[in-house]
Amino acid sequence: MTIDFGAKSDAATIVNLTNHALFNMAGEGSPTGIYEQRLTIPATRYTPVDAALIPTGEMKPVAGTVFDFTQGRSLGDGIRDGRDPQIVIGRGWDHNFALDKGVTAAPQLAARLEDPASGRVLEVLSTEPGLQFYSGNFLDGTLIGKSGHVYRMGDGVALEPQKFPDTPNQPAFGSARVEPGTPYRHRMIYRVSVAR
């Protein structure tokens, strides 16, 4: 599925569009939630957040941390690691990853999510430089799914390609400004397959 975002403006304005769909490759209502699924994010840096989940402006290396998805890792491995203050702040992952590919003319891989049990795979491709990864930390059982299942913490993930959050206030993050005559464009692709 391809999503093409576009915006034009007659005055300078800020634009940063994405999609906040939640996915569970084990299937809706899976008793294990997302914890046994494997995520790969081709990013060697991420943007830490403050207590309000707003990026601080810093970029930290993922190597040797629970934020290292460069080789793929199980989501159950690190999602509740209280030794990392960033995991405590977000109640899991709710962080932007600086994709190694940067901004691209054509969509390139931003994330790969796989359920080993079923073999279902979701690949997310994008032209944008960042990926917000949200591990469903604020799903609190008040939402009921299409099959009558209660959605709990960790029952879905969002993989949101975009410019870095808080870019207008963080000069090191680049620009989210759209000028008249220079339209905003962002192409995002969700590609689903089965690895068997």
Report the distance separating Cα 88 and Cα 114, nearest Å.
Answer: 25
3-state secondary structure of 167: helix
3-state secondary structure of 90: helix
Report the distance separating Cα 113 and Cα 166, nearest Å.
Answer: 26
Tell me whether residue 179 is one of the annotated catalytic residues: no
Tell me whether residue 128 is one of the annotated catalytic residues: no
Sign, CA dihedral 103-94-62-42, equals negative
Q: Classify residue 23 as exposed, middle or buried by CB count within 10 Å of its CB (0-12, 13-18, 19+).
A: buried
First to last CA, the chain: 21
Residues near 159 by beta carbon (within 8 Å), at least 6 away in sequence? 23, 110, 111, 113, 122, 124, 131, 132, 133
Sheet holding 60-61, edge to edge: 22-23, 157-162, 130-134, 94-98, 45-47, 60-61
Selecting among 58, 160, 179, 186, the annotated active-site residue is 160
Rg of the chain taking only CA atoms, in angstroms: 17
| Residues with catalytic function | 20, 160
